[in-house]
A = this chain, B = another copy of it.
Amino acid sequence: MSKDKNRSNCPISCSLELWGDKWSLIIIRDLMFAKQCTYGDFLKSEEKISTNILAARLKTLEQHMVIEKLEHPNSKSKVLYKLTKKGIELLPILVEINLWGEKYYADIPDRTKALLKDVKKDKKSFIRRTIKKLDID
């Protein structure tokens, strides 16, 4: 019925209890680099999340104020999802995961390579610029 207690007060452990799974950061990645997404946009991602899992994750992330829902400007049947400040602040984590993954996995997409080249040139500046883009709505 109600929320369980955290298994510890370690910030890493608490964070993992919220988004430590195979899908949450994929959703957040999409929002981070596409700015805003509809439900259908998430479903179209290459990783092919199933619709019930997507709905569950969106719900949890919204409840924990990592993302929020917005009305779509052109349509009442569409919903726009976007990152909150709390969600945007996950960017440094995504950047570091990207850098680690680039080092240990092959066939990185060109778009990602370009992005990471930019990151490596000046990480702080990349983060600042990306956040700035997300903040404008």
Identify the A interface with B (CB < 8 A). 6-17, 20-23, 25-26, 29, 46-48, 86, 89-90, 92-109, 112
User: What is the CB-to-nearest-CB distance from A104 to chain B, in angstroms, rounded to a whole number?
Assistant: 6
Which residue of the partner chain, among B13, B92, B103, B112, contacts A10 with CB atoms under 8 Å? B112
The quantity of this chain's copies bound in the complex is: 2
User: What is the CB-to-nearest-CB distance from A110 to chain B, in angstroms, rounded to a whole number?
Assistant: 10
User: What is the CB-to-nearest-CB distance from A23 to chain B, in angstroms, rounded to a whole number?
Assistant: 8
> Provided the pairs A21-B21, A93-B97 are in contact, do residues A8 and B108 lie with their beta carbons within 8 angstroms?
no
B12 touches A26 (CB 8 A): yes
* Interface CB pairs A-B, < 8 A, 25: A6-B105, A7-B47, A10-B101, A10-B108, A10-B109, A10-B112, A11-B108, A12-B25, A12-B26, A12-B29, A12-B98, A14-B104, A16-B22, A16-B26, A16-B97, A17-B22, A20-B21, A21-B21, A21-B22, A90-B100, A92-B100, A93-B97, A93-B100, A95-B96, A96-B96
A47 touches B10 (CB 8 A): yes
Chain B residues whose CB sits within 8 angstroms of the CB of A108 once the complex forms: 9-11
